Amino acid sequence: MRHLTIADGAREMGLDPRALPIRRGHFGGEPWTEDMRHQIEGALAIQAYDNHGLSEVIGPGVSGECPERPGMHIQEDHFLVEYLDPDTLEPVPEEGELVITPLTREAMPRLRYRSRDIARLYREPCPCGRTTIRMGRIKGRTDDMLIIRGVNVFPSQIEEALLRVEGTTPHYLIEVSRPGTLDEPHVKVEMHSEIFSDRMDRLQTLCERISREIQSVTGIRAHGDLVEPRSLERFTAKTKRVLDRRELG
């Protein structure tokens, strides 16, 4: 993830990541959890703020958190924002797909651009005093949501579960197959180098813990498969989290 890249790079150069002259950071590009925020702040000794934007609309800056951090303030003087049901495209009052119309974009105007991002909308005034509409953290995307045995599952939920398990990293890959009539989800997870060993009993216990936490968060039972540190592919843009091998017709 983003903070690990900064922290690991600093360590490789013999620097203490917490000693870097950074006090605040705005993070976006991928959905993240509150646990991930705490890890970023702990690793870098900074205050981490959520930021949302789309390169198709304007890039970073559609919305961002204030110091109170009760959701991201949408810049309503530049964007008309709607929340729609992704299936019916009808308006929904609180949570749905974020649809954006830029009001000040000139060279390439867009009307009602579907972001595919799912989030919650807040209309009440913020404790900071601003009255603009706020959006919650991105829960997931309509185009990476998985339906596994009838349950809607987002990669961000898997990340939330993994952050509860000491010894794992936020690098993972969800693989879903259907060898028979039922879906078989597996989650490949990179382990920390500190626990990488040949003690099979310890690794088996960790796999079982991963499966329990995933079931606790998502409601589905998935196999946890530990892999070596830095063995999963890294991506320069959007990280690929899902490999769906099912033949869905």
- Between 225 and 141, the higher pLDDT residue: 225
Nearest by Cα to 30 from 67, 11, 69, 4: 4
Domain membership flag for residue 19: yes
Residue at 249 is within a domain: no
Please check the confidence at residue 47 and state whether its pLDDT lies above 60. yes
Which has more pLDDT, 17 or 130?
130
- For residue 122, give Cα distances in angstroms to 33, 69, 73, 114, 248: 18, 13, 9, 19, 37
> Which residue, of 141, 160, 182, is where some domain finishes?
141
Residues 137 and 152 in one domain: no
Query: Rounded distance, CA 66 to CA 217, Å?
Result: 28
For 197-201, the CB contacts below 8 A with 24+ separation are none
Q: Which domain covers residue 21, as residue numbers? A: 2-141
- Boundary (domain end) residue, out of 141, 158, 193: 141
3-class state of residue 103 by DSSP: coil
Kindly report the CATH number assigned to the domain that includes residue 181. Answer: 3.30.300.30
Q: What local confidence, expressed as pLDDT, does residue 208 receive?
A: 93
When pLDDT is cut at 50, 70 and 90, the band that residue 2 belongs to is very low
Boundary (domain end) residue, out of 141, 161, 192 = 141
108 plus 8 within the same structural domain: yes
Residues 39 and 58 in one domain: yes
Termini Cα distance of the chain: 34
Mean pLDDT of all residues in 128-147: 85
Report CA dihedral (193, 13, 240, 117) to the nearest 10 degrees. 120
Whether residue 133 sits in one domain with residue 157: no
pLDDT, tens digit (0-9, with 9 covering 90-100), for 71-103: 999 999 999 999 999 889 999 988 999 999 999
Closest Cα to residue 34, out of 161, 160, 215, 216? 160
25 and 125 inside one domain: yes
